[in-house]
């Protein structure tokens, strides 16, 4: 059992949990994730490790409440225990000195962008961070991202904070103004697709963190298959980071919609039971 040490509300539907998991905390690296199960009858869901603390034996997780399991997790309190956590899973992000890098986080993807930006900064890069959300109330980890940035930009779709527009608007300006050696983008699939298309003509290495439907997390079930450069890969064991210029984003977005009706029904049944 894995005890919840700390819980914070970042936005109305995004919660931060610090969970006791010493074995995971000792080995986790940027880009890796865990698969958790709330109880014996619960489904398995993947969640990125935001900040492993080997000294305290804890890992920080940020969860957006979008379905039955994440909503149920959102009701848990400090002191409550999670039944199962498996990890760290996935191949760690490639962290080295590239030069001038841009790290982009969209929505809850900012939680995944933060450890990457932090590690790239510690590796000696000049780090430019761009974070974006639909509105100012949905922005998370602004303080943390700013602290690891040499330049920092915010965009919101409605203009309630930072620049009105999209993260790609800022990226286009940066590319026109200075030499960019590496781009890392984490967020909604459509955002990562557009980022990859913006950098492609300039030959800028672009890495994206894919979030396909995932179940087993160890390469056994094949649910998280994605097409990279015309080849089938499994995001859980071959990723989750891939070259954005090789990803078949249209296929990925189609696969992400397969179970939308079932997920909606499951959530509705859970909410009725709780009320």
What residues does each domain of the chain span?
Answer: 2-89, 100-256
| DSSP assignment letter at 18 | E
CA distance 196 to 168: 10
Residue from 182, 181, 156 nearest 169 by CA = 156
pLDDT digits (tens, 9 = 90+) for 102-157: 999 999 999 999 999 999 999 999 999 999 999 999 999 999 999 999 999 999 99
What pTM does this model have?
A: 0.89
- The answer to whether the 2-89 and 100-256 domains have the same CATH topology is no
Tokens of 129: 């961070």
Tell me the C-alpha distance between 15 and 9, whole Å. 5
Q: What is the pLDDT of residue 211?
A: 81
Tens-place pLDDT, residues 200-222: 999 999 999 988 777 777 788 88
In angstroms, the CA 106 to CA 131 distance is 6
d(CA 163, CA 167): 9
* 100-256 is a CATH 3.40.50.1950 domain: no
User: How sure is the predictor about 6, in pLDDT bands with cuts at 50, 70 and 90?
Assistant: very high
Cα gap 221→190, rounded to integer Å = 25
Please determine, for residue 275, whether its predicted confidence score (pLDDT) is greater than 70: no
The CATH number that domain 2-89 falls under is 2.40.30.10
Higher pLDDT residue, 234 or 275?
Answer: 234
Mean pLDDT of 64-71: 87
CA 4 – CA 209 distance, rounded (Å): 26
Instruction: Report whether pLDDT(263) > 80.
Output: no
């Amino acid at each position: 059992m894995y005890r919840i040490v700390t819980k914070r509300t970042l936005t109305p539907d995004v919660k931060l949990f610090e969970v006791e998991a010493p074995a995971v905390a000792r080995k986790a690296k940027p880009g890796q994730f865990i698969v958790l199960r709330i109880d014996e009858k619960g489904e398995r869901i993947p969640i990125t490790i935001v900040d492993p603390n080997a000294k305290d034996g804890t890992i920080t997780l940020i969860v957006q409440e979008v379905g039955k399991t994440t909503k149920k997790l959102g009701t848990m309190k400090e002191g409550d225990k999670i039944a199962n956590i498996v990890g760290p899973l996935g191949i760690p992000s490639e962290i080295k000195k590239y030069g001038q890098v841009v790290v982009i986080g969209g929505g809850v993807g900012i939680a995944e962008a933060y450890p990457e930006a932090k590690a790239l900064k510690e590796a000696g890069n000049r780090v430019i961070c761009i974070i974006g959300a639909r509105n100012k109330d949905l922005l998370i980890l602004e303080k943390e991202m700013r602290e690891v940035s040499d330049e920092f930009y915010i965009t919101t779709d409605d203009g309630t904070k930072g620049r009105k527009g999209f993260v790609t608007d800022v990226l286009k300006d940066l590319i026109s103004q200075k030499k960019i050696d590496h781009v890392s983008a984490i967020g909604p699939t459509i955002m990562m697709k557009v980022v990859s298309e913006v950098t492609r003509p300039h030959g800028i290495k672009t890495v994206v963190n894919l979030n396909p439907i995932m179940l087993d997390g160890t390469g056994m079930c094949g649910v998280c298959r994605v097409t990279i450069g015309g080849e089938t890969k499994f995001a859980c064991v071959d990723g989750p980071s891939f070259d954005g210029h090789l990803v078949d984003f249209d296929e990925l977005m189609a696969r992400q919609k397969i179970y939308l009706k079932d997920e909606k029904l499951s959530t509705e049944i859970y909410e009725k039971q709780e009320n």
